[in-house]
Amino acid sequence: MNGDLSKLCIHTITTKPWKIEEAAKNYAEAGIKGITVWRDALEGRNISQTGKMLREHNLEVVSLCRGGFFPSKDPVKRKLAIEDNRRAVEEAAELGTSMVVLVCGAEPDQSLEESRKQIRDGIAAVIPDAAAAGVKLTIEPLHPMYADTRSAINTLAQANDMAEALKSPWVGIAVDVYHLWWDPYLEQEIKRCGKNGNLSAFHICDWKVPTTDMLLDRGLMGEGCIPVRQIKTWVEEAGFEGFNEVEIFSNTYWKEDQSMFLDKIVKAYKEHVLYDMDFVLNGKQAL
C-alpha cells in the first residue's frame, strides 16, 4: 500500500548505530521528510554545516533533543543546567530547527514539588534566549517510573500547568505515547494542550509486553499495547499538524541491521499509524 510519509520524522537515536550522515542519506532514500537530532549525533561536527547537510537531503529538522535537567539541591549545578540549556538553544538555531525538547529532570533528594519549582524557574531563565533565537522550549512529560532522576513532570496535566504558568509563545509541550498512554485523563489533557496553543510535538513508539528494560526496550508501533492511532486522532483533533516522530530506544533493534530496521519502521508506520490494520484486514471498527 502507498503510505504518505510526509509527516514521518525519525529521531537519530532510533538508529543509534548510524552516524548522522548515514541516517540522513538512508532516511531520505526511504522517503522520510523529518529528522529530530540528538545532541550526541552532533559531536565533533560543525553544527550549521550539519544542518545544511540535512536540508540538502530534503529533511526538515523537527527538533533538537535534548535540554532540561534543571533541578538540583546544589545552586551551582542549577546555574550550570541553565547555561547548558542556553547552549542547546544556540545549537538548535545553528542547526536550523525551532524546537528544543526538554527532559526536565528531577532530584531524588528533594520533593517533586521543589523539583517542579526549579524546573519552572530554569525554563523561565532560558525563555529570553529562546525568544531571541526563535526556538521553542518543549516540555516532555515523562512516565512516572522516571520521577526519581529524569523528570518531575510526569503527566500531561502537570506539563499543561507548567506551560500555562510560564505563559510564553516560546514554551510548548511534547506528547510522547510511551510516557502518557496509561493516563486516564489523556484525551482531555490533549484537548486542553491544543486549546491553549501548547501542543508542539508528537512522539511515537510502543510499549512491549512484557517490557524487559524500562529505558531501552521500546517497541515498534503496533508491537505493544499503546493505542497509537487513537492518541494520534486526539492529537490531530486538538489541532496538531506537525510530524509524527518515531523515537525508539532499543537494545534489540540497535543490534539489528539498521537498514532492515528502517524498513520495519516505515512498514509499522504505514500499518499502525496511518492505517488501522485490524480494520483493513478484519473489518473491525477503526479506533
Residues in CB range of 187: below 8 A, 6 or more apart: 234
Compare residues 78 and 201 and give the one whose CB is closer to Zn ion: 201
User: In whole angstroms, how far apart are CA 165 and each of 22, 75, 198?
Assistant: 41, 23, 12
Q: Using alpha carbons, select from 145, 205, 162, 161 the residue that is nearest to residue 68.
A: 162
State in angstroms the smallest separation of the CB of 226 from Zn ion: 13
State in angstroms the smallest separation of the CB of 248 from Zn ion: 10
**DSSP per-residue codes, 146-170:** GTTTTBS--SHHHHHHHHHHH--TT
Compare residues 80 and 214 and give the one whose CB is closer to Zn ion: 214
Q: Using alpha carbons, select from 205, 112, 202, 204 the residue that is nearest to residue 161.
A: 112
Which residue bears the cell 526536565? 104
- Yes or no: say if 33 and 61 are a contact pair by the CB < 8 Å rule: no
Neighbours of 48 (CB within 10 A): 13
ω into residue 144 within 30 of 0, thus cis? no
The number of CA neighbours under 13 Å toward the Cβ of 92 is 29
Compare residues 129 and 176 and give the one whose CB is closer to Zn ion: 176
Compare residues 81 and 102 and give the one whose CB is closer to Zn ion: 102
Compare residues 78 and 221 and give the one whose CB is closer to Zn ion: 221
Compare residues 85 and 244 and give the one whose CB is closer to Zn ion: 244
State in angstroms the smallest separation of the CB of 285 from Zn ion: 29
Would residue 13 be called left, alpha or beta, if left means φ above 0 and alpha means ψ between -120 and 50 degrees? alpha
Q: Using alpha carbons, select from 64, 78, 88, 92 the residue that is nearest to residue 120.
A: 78
Three-state SS for 175? strand
State in angstroms the smallest separation of the CB of 195 from Zn ion: 22
State in angstroms the smallest separation of the CB of 163 from Zn ion: 16
State in angstroms the smallest separation of the CB of 147 from Zn ion: 16
Residues of this chain that interact with Zn ion (CB under 5 A) are 176, 203, 247
Compare residues 78 and 143 and give the one whose CB is closer to Zn ion: 143
Compare residues 54 and 175 and give the one whose CB is closer to Zn ion: 175
State in angstroms the smallest separation of the CB of 203 from Zn ion: 4
State in angstroms the smallest separation of the CB of 22 from Zn ion: 22
